[in-house]
Amino acid sequence: MTDSVLVIGSNSFSGASFCRWLLAQGANVIGISRSAEPQDCFLPYKWEANGQFEFKQLDLNHHLPEIETLLNQCRPKIVYNFAAQSMVGQSWDIPEHWFMTNCVSTIKLHNILRHMDFLDKYVHVSTPEVYGSCEGFVYENHQLDPSTPYAVSRAATDMSLKTYFDVHGFPVVTTRAANVVGPGQQLYRIVPKTILSLLKGIKLPLHGGGHSRRSFIHIDDVSNATQLIGEQGTCGEVYHISTIRIVSIRDLVTMICEQLGNKIEDVCDISEDRKGKDAAYLLDSSKVRTELGWQDQISLENTIDQCVTWSKNNFDTITSLPLEYIHKA
């Protein structure tokens, strides 16, 4: 790989891990994020010696002219966009922040990109939250039925991109991945939060008893699929990235407890579920498997092992950091 690849949202867990995945292949990667780079333990691309990485602190909400200039300078053939205001429950508190980042500013970016003739592919990283609660396995053509401000903001942009493809031929492909997990994830996510709570000996709130069922997938498997979709996926299409294995949050926490020698009943407090929480969205990923030959490789047990090792190795750095999400306007 010799051409530069632009990754927007490179400080996010998925974005930083994807940058590492590309760098391991010797790629030249330019990363954009609105925040300054955090500690190295949260930036997997800092762990990779290969390739070349350049970071630019630019915010979609405030620096679109600068981003447009950068695009014209580096002329990437593929742009991967991981940038989004995440956190479903918190989107009820200040929904306009979620809509500004996830919808308004992102669509402004799309309107810039559609005029750039050097762009071969735009990979839009969406979310299965746009489907709402569903019964059984969900396919890529399933009706969008978002149930939270976060999900609505993402669904609106997904729908906008469909019109951009239909009307302008904009070369977009969309990914929707299951719950990503792996070393370096933000501490407020369920796996690192559980591990660190157990290591620190503090109680873990288990929302709604942990009965929601999810597919948990290693971020390297997602990065592999995302690259394949970016390079070989069909424009205008949506691709699900998921394992076949489905577990409840309670079973996931139980696995982590067993790994660390704890019993779930001793370390968890049952708390109320978040508003609008979807009981399940079980993604069918046969499309990316059949069309692009992708297969997930890393088991959930191996994933948890890696996360425990990362938490222990970086305990002195992460132990003083908050376990809850802190919103940035």
pLDDT per residue as tens digits for the range 204-235: 888 778 888 889 999 999 999 999 999 999 99
Domains 4-180+218-241 and 186-214+246-280+299-318 share a fold: no
Whole-number average pLDDT of the chain: 93
Fold of 186-214+246-280+299-318: UDP-galactose 4-epimerase; domain 1 (3.90.25)
CATH number of 4-180+218-241: 3.40.50.720
Percentage of residues in the chain having pLDDT higher than 70: 96
pLDDT of residue 34: 96
Mean of pLDDT values over 133-161? 94
Residue 281's pLDDT band (cuts 50, 70, 90): low
Res 276 pLDDT > 60? no
pTM, 2 dp: 0.95
Provide the pLDDT for residue 277.
Answer: 56
pLDDT single digits (tens) 181-199:
999 999 999 999 999 999 9
Residue boundaries of the structural domains of the chain: 4-180+218-241, 186-214+246-280+299-318
Give 47-71 pLDDT, tens digit per residue. Answer: 998 989 999 999 999 999 999 999 9
Task: Give every CB contact of residue 293 below 8 A, 6+ residues apart in sequence.
Answer: 228
Spatial distance between the Cα atoms of 122 and 130, rounded to a whole number of angstroms: 20
Q: Which two tokens stand for residue 252?
A: 């996931």
**Contacts by 186-193 with C-beta closer than 8 Å and gap 24+?**
186/13, 186/42, 186/325, 187/318, 187/321, 187/322, 187/323, 188/322, 188/323, 188/324, 188/325, 189/13, 190/249, 190/252, 190/253, 191/216, 191/252, 191/256, 191/303, 191/304, 191/307, 192/307, 192/311, 193/323
